[in-house]
Amino acid sequence: MAIIQNMTIDQDADFTQTLTIKDSTGTVVDITGQTVTSKMRKTHLSSSATTFTTAIVSGTDGTCSITLTDTVTAALTEGRYVWDLTTTDGSGLVTRRLEGRVTVTPSVTR
């Protein structure tokens, strides 16, 4: 079961967040050698998605980062979205690790 984590993203600004992957008992998961994928959508059923750039920060510490550039956040409409993050291991097993809501706040300075 995925851990719930809500986020706020500012429109027209770079966004980066470092996340720690844990299992349902709160134990850090070693993500060494795994692929991390993360997307956000307006709703779970939306056909279009915004893909985060992902990177493993420390596999043994279970940390990874997700990033959107200011160009990408500028194209987002203010409001609520949903997001999740999955890992895929060497055997192809996909596990949803994190999920939640994203609030995109509007920009004044452009």
44: domain CATH number is 2.60.40.10
| Interatomic CA distance for residues 80 and 105, integer angstroms | 9
Residue-number span of the structural domain to which 50 is assigned? 3-105
Residues 75 and 22: their CA atoms lie apart, in Å, by 31
**pLDDT tens per residue, range 28-37:** 999 999 999 9
Total structural domains within the chain: 1
Q: Would 49 be classed as within a structural domain?
A: yes
**1: pLDDT confidence band, cut at 50, 70 and 90?**
confident
Distances from the Cα of 13 to the Cα of 10, 79, 83, 98, 106, angstroms: 6, 15, 18, 23, 10
Residue 66 located in a structural domain: yes
Q: With beta carbons less than 8 A apart as the criterion, state whether 55 and 65 touch.
A: yes
pLDDT digits (tens, 9 = 90+) for 47-100: 999 999 999 999 999 999 999 999 999 999 999 999 999 999 999 999 999 999
Instruction: Please report whether residue 110 resides in a domain.
Output: no
* pLDDT given at position 76: 97
Residue 19 belongs to some domain of the structure: yes
- The tokens of 105 are what? 């706040």
Is residue 37 assigned to a domain?
yes
